[in-house]
């Protein structure tokens, strides 16, 4: 990948069904400057629509910015040959998947995804609670209450990779239970990806543009490991640990924050990490990311 970016942004995402989720955070590292936490103009917290519009603004201004979104850009496909086996409208590619999710959830407020999760066919594939597990959740229907759920190839690779910074106990996008659930975030993110309407190329589905913005899928824990944050202590909630992480990433320390919540610090650290990671050619062309996997399931930037 022979492409230079002048700025690097991380958006820590949230699938919370409210207008302004506390879990949404945006940080930008411009040039060699310290990453800055960006705040919305009218509210204390961002909305998903405001972050969508912020990304569209980057496209309108042709800003050379690499944007990382902390969510899964697609659902597992390779294991079953379909995102939603046994559903006759199951899409064949990620962009069609985004369109389906946005269509089903068109009347949901706040760009949420309640209608997708309550759809009688889609619901069969998700673990909704300890008591309510869809009959098509997981690989073994007889053990679906205990299984991890279906995983994308990149998530399976993360669980076994010997490379410490990208090793992770990735959760299934079909899991909606507990702290590790990523399903709601991913589905709401898919709605936003569809509503960007092709304004910004999205890796690895689109060619890397010669100029202007680009979006990649990121996992903030990878940035935390690279910043020297020990496993089991990923959530930074004070200035001293944040400064230490940034120094490990060869970044100037950031401004004093009003509140050191883990969403803000995750975004700041990851923006600084992306500035270093963008020049790593392995991250753009990992050996494990075969062409069919890239086309149907995508990949997490930084996993090799």
Percentage of the chain beyond pLDDT 70 is 93
Q: Is residue 302 part of a domain?
A: no
Q: Assess contact for 214 and 241: CB atoms under 8 A.
A: no
Model confidence pLDDT, tens digit, residues 292-301: 999 999 999 9
Token pair belonging to 141: 């229907």
pLDDT at 268: 97
The total domain count for the chain is 1
pTM of the model as a whole: 0.95
- Alpha-helical (H) ranges within the chain are 48-60, 94-104, 114-118, 153-160, 183-195, 220-226, 239-248, 262-277, 281-284, 291-296
Q: Please give the average per-residue pLDDT across 277-293, as a whole number.
A: 96
pLDDT at residue 179 greater than cutoff 80: no
Domain CATH for 206:
3.30.420
Q: Is residue 121 part of a domain?
A: no
Please name the residues in contact with 280: beta carbons below 8 A apart, sequence gap of 6 or more: none
Q: Is residue 101 part of a domain?
A: no
Q: Is residue 48 part of a domain?
A: yes
Q: Is residue 86 part of a domain?
A: no
Model confidence pLDDT, tens digit, residues 118-160: 999 999 999 999 899 999 998 655 544 457 899 999 999 988 8
pLDDT at residue 258 greater than cutoff 90: no
Rounded to 10 degrees, the C-alpha dihedral 7/12/16/21 comes to: -70
Which has more confidence, 163 or 214?
A: 214
Distance CA 192, CA 102 (A): 8
Q: Assess contact for 184 and 113: CB atoms under 8 A.
A: yes
Strand 36-38 to strand 25-30: parallel, antiparallel, or no bridges (unpaired)?
antiparallel
Q: Is residue 51 part of a domain?
A: yes
Q: Is residue 136 part of a domain?
A: no
pLDDT at residue 100 greater than cutoff 80: yes
pLDDT at 183: 93
Q: Is residue 158 part of a domain?
A: no
- Supply the range of the domain harboring residue 69: 7-73+196-284
Percentage of the chain beyond pLDDT 90 is 83
Q: Please give the average per-residue pLDDT across 18-38, as a whole number.
A: 97
């Amino acid at each position: 990948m022979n492409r230079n970016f002048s700025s690097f942004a991380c958006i820590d995402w949230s699938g919370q069904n409210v207008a302004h989720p506390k879990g949404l955070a945006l940080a930008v590292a411009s040039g060699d400057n310290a990453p800055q936490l960006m705040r919305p103009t009218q509210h204390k917290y961002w909305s998903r629509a405001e972050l969508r519009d912020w990304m569209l603004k980057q496209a309108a201004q042709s800003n050379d910015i690499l944007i990382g979104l902390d969510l899964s850009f697609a659902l597992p496909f390779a294991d079953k040959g379909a995102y939603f086996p046994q559903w006759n409208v199951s899409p064949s590619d990620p962009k069609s998947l985004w369109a389906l999710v946005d269509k089903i959830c068109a009347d949901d407020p706040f760009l949420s995804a309640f209608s997708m999760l309550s759809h009688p066919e889609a619901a069969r594939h998700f673990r909704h609670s300890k008591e309510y597990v869809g009959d098509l959740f997981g690989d073994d229907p007889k053990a679906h209450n205990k299984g991890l759920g279906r995983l994308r190839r990149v998530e399976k690779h993360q669980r076994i990779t010997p490379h410490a910074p990208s090793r992770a106990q990735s959760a299934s996008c079909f899991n909606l239970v507990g702290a590790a659930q990523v399903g709601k975030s991913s589905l709401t993110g898919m709605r936003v990806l569809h509503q960007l309407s092709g304004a910004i190329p999205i890796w690895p589905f689109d060619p890397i543009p010669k100029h202007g913005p680009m979006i990649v899928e990121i996992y903030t824990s990878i940035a935390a490991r690279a910043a020297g944050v020990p496993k089991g202590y990923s959530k930074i909630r004070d200035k001293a640990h944040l400064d230490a992480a940034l120094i490990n990433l060869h970044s100037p320390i950031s401004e004093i924050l009003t509140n050191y919540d883990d969403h803000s610090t995750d975004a700041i650290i990851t923006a600084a990490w992306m500035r270093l990671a963008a020049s790593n050619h392995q991250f753009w062309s990992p050996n494990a990311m075969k062409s069919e996997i890239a086309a149907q399931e995508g990949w997490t930037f930084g996993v090799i």
